Amino acid sequence: MTSPVMPTYARHDVAFVRGEGARLWSEDGREFIDFGAGVAVTSFGHAHPHLVEALCTQARKLWHVSNLYRIPEGERLARRLIAASGFAETVFFANSGAEALEAAIKTARSYHFENGQPERQTIITFQGCFHGRTLATIAAGRRKAHTEAFGEACPGFMQLALHDYEAVARAVNEKTAAILIEPVQGEGGVRVVEAAFLEHVRSICDETGTLLIYDEVQCGMGRTGRMFAHEWAGVKPDIMALAKALGGGFPIGACLATAEAAKGMTAGRHGSTFGGNPLAMAVGNAVMDILENDTFLPEVRRKAERLQAGLGRLAAAHGAVFKGVRGIGMMLGLACAVPNTEVTKAALDEGVLVIGAADNVVRVMPPLVITAEEMDEGLVRLERAAMRLAAQ
């Protein structure tokens, strides 16, 4: 049977019908351990009772009103994100990561426009980055497979090698609007950016009036064991994009900014029909309820240690399949010695979901609520997949 859905993904032939915590069940009755969380989205597990309750309660009250009116749930979520960020003073809500990035790019460019420097348009990004699939965000990402079919690239982006300290210092000029970076690259292969590089970039931004934008769409919201991944480095941005786990599986995006950086985002400059709608805001607040619990993130860090140790043993024992472990917190990757597509396939056959990334990596990013037993079971299944691959 051919699918009526555009084949823009190389889909596995499996359909899940139910989930609970870190487990999933497919329509043919098989059970799986979820080590992918739908690409770091379902960080609080499937069917988390608190999130389900928040969504259902809101669904009975009000779904949509339009941003022409105040949305109290959104104001509440914005205040909580601002407080958690320690730098932001204002938030724009969108429906996805790419839209959060579009808002971030517009915020940066309009800041310079407002300052009487409309020529400051260029956004500097780094090799291996991923910022979404809209026309602007593919121009930011510059990956051939993402751009080649779509004509002339959206102007105003340039890209440098990650960790090239001198190149950044040289590249910033009177046309530069912002530097955009993921504190931990996700799609690029789980590459943790050096703290010193973020410090370096921050100081160049400060010296030149350039804005620093973090894309924490994948690495944010507790994934690394801190609310935001950049907390490990202790370097704040001016603007930050969030999405994925912020909605725990409900579509949402957010662009946070300082009041100064957001001064160009005045009435009429940007908008979204659905962004900040009451359903998404209710779920976002429920996510914050979980993350703000004082015991939650320390527990994630403890579990992450166990998972890292387990993956380390797995990689060491199966050198024909895995080269090593990388990442931070529960944002982990196994560098593969065989094609990563074969690893994701074999893992799925053994009942554990992992997700491919560039650099021939498979990502291991379970729901943060996964239990020790589920982690161990997932590791056993990964080991079986490794043995199966090594025997081939």
Ligand X SMILES: *Cc1c(COP(=O)(O)O)cnc(C)c1O
Any contact of residue 19 with ligand X (CB under 6 A)? no
Any contact of residue 58 with ligand X (CB under 6 A)? no
In order of 27, 108, 277, 307, 341, the CA distances from 13 in angstroms are 11, 42, 33, 28, 14
**Cα–Cα distance between 181 and 185 in angstroms, integer?**
8
CB-wise, 44 or 126, nearer to ligand X? 126
CB-wise, 190 or 379, nearer to ligand X? 190
CB-wise, 124 or 379, nearer to ligand X? 124
Q: How far is the CB of 8 from ligand X (least distance, A)?
A: 12
Segment near ligand X (CB under 6 A); pick from 125-133, 168-176, 190-198, 275-283: 125-133
Any contact of residue 374 with ligand X (CB under 6 A)? no
26 pairs with which residues across the strands?
16
Any contact of residue 322 with ligand X (CB under 6 A)? no
| DSSP string of 221-236, one letter each residue | TTTTSSSSGGGGTT--
Any contact of residue 186 with ligand X (CB under 6 A)? yes
Q: Write out the E strands in the chain.
A: 16-20, 23-26, 31-34, 90-94, 122-126, 157-160, 176-181, 184-185, 191-192, 211-215, 239-242, 253-257, 322-328, 331-336, 352-353, 355-357, 361-364
CB distance 325 to 332 below 8 Å: yes
CB-wise, 153 or 387, nearer to ligand X? 153
Q: How far is the CB of 162 from ligand X (least distance, A)?
A: 14
Segment near ligand X (CB under 6 A); pick from 164-172, 181-189, 282-290, 311-319: 181-189
Q: How far is the CB of 356 from ligand X (least distance, A)?
A: 13
- For ligand X, the binding residue among 110, 218, 340, 344 (CB under 6 A) is 218
- For ligand X, the binding residue among 168, 179, 243, 362 (CB under 6 A) is 243
**Cα–Cα distance between 156 and 137 in angstroms, integer?**
11
Q: How far is the CB of 240 from ligand X (least distance, A)?
A: 11
Which tokens is 177 given? 């609007």
| DSSP string of 171-193, one letter each residue | H--TTEEEEEE-SEESTTTSEEP
Any contact of residue 96 with ligand X (CB under 6 A)? yes
Residues that bind ligand X (CB under 6 A): 96-98, 101, 130-132, 182, 186-187, 215, 217-218, 243-244
